[in-house]
Every structure is written in C-alpha cells, then in structure tokens.
Amino acid sequence: NKAIDKHPDSPDGYFGLGSLYLAMGNSTTALEKFEIALEKDPAHTATRIKLAVYHFESGKHDLAEAQCKELIRRKPGATDGYTYLANILTKRKRYDEAVMYLNYGLDKVPDEDQSAIYNGLGFIYLKKGEYGNSISYYEKALELSPKDPTISSVLAEVYFLDGQIARAQAIA
C-alpha cells in the first residue's frame, strides 16, 4: 500500500498487491488489484502474464489465451506474450497455432530474446515427436544462449530420443 500511496499512477504497486492477495488465496481481491494495474497500464506485461497463468490454472483457458493475445496486441515486442501463449496452446494440443504465434514473434521480439522463441519451437516439435525439427530449434536457441544449461540439457535429451547417443553424450 505504501508503494501505491507514493506512486498512485504506477501499475507496479497494484500488481504487487494483487500478487500478494493471490498468494494468500484471496483471488477476488487479487483480480481487482490486477484490473486496476491494467487500467494504469493496459500493456503491463507482468500483470497480463500473471492473469494468464491464473486463468489457465483455474481452467479458464480461453481467458488465459485472451490475456496473452491482448499483451501481444498492445506490446508486440513482449517475448513473454508469445512464449506463454505458445505454452498454453501446446498444453491444449494446438501445436500448429502455437508454432504460428512463435514464428510471428520472431519478427517482433528483440534479438536478445529470440532464444526463448526458438526454445519454445523446439519444445513444440518435441511434444509432436518431430525430433529433427526439435533439434534444429534447440540448436538455434543454444547458439543464441550458449551458457543456458536448460537448453543444452533438453537438447541432449532430444538427441538421445532421436538415437543420436554420441551427440547427446557430447553435450550432457
């Protein structure tokens, strides 16, 4: 509340308060605070993503998608909008749509965030069992983020699943 008193026009205080209420199990008040945050800044990335996660976990998948799509509409360079939307679509087995959004995002996000998009594409193709495509995207993600242990670990797993044991051992 002190942050809101000092900066009443900033969405951050309302987002923080909403997150606190959500953690305490008071979703009604949390959602009210999140809505105020979005009134202050309709493109507030953290609020849109928090609402998407909340709605998805509550079984309101369409509302979760809508939050991500609204973030993308209002802030086309917001990497999280594309990756969270793709994650939601992938969980709903709407792989082609997830790929479409991630490919669209590649042209919009900053270069330093493209690794997350390629990582998402690798994951989708892994879920589809298309190991060759998955490997290509994970390799590109690793090229852009060579020190990311998660990407190299998953890439080693996909190499293994694809029968490329020596390559899997080389990066594991």
The tokens describing 93, both together, are: 């087995």
Angle between helices 79-91 and 61-74 (to 10 degrees): 160
Residue 122's CB is within 10 A of a number of other CB atoms, namely 24
Q: Sign (positive/negative) of CA torsion 132, 80, 74, 86?
A: positive
Mean pLDDT of the chain, nearest integer: 95
101-128, pLDDT tens digit by residue? 999 999 999 999 999 999 999 999 999 9
Of the chain, the percentage scoring pLDDT greater than 70 comes to 99
Please determine, for residue 56, whether its predicted confidence score (pLDDT) is greater than 70: yes
Please determine, for residue 131, whether its predicted confidence score (pLDDT) is greater than 90: yes
- Distance from C-alpha of 152 to C-alpha of 157, rounded to nearest angstrom: 9
Which of 134, 137, 97, 94 has the alpha carbon at shortest distance from 114? 137
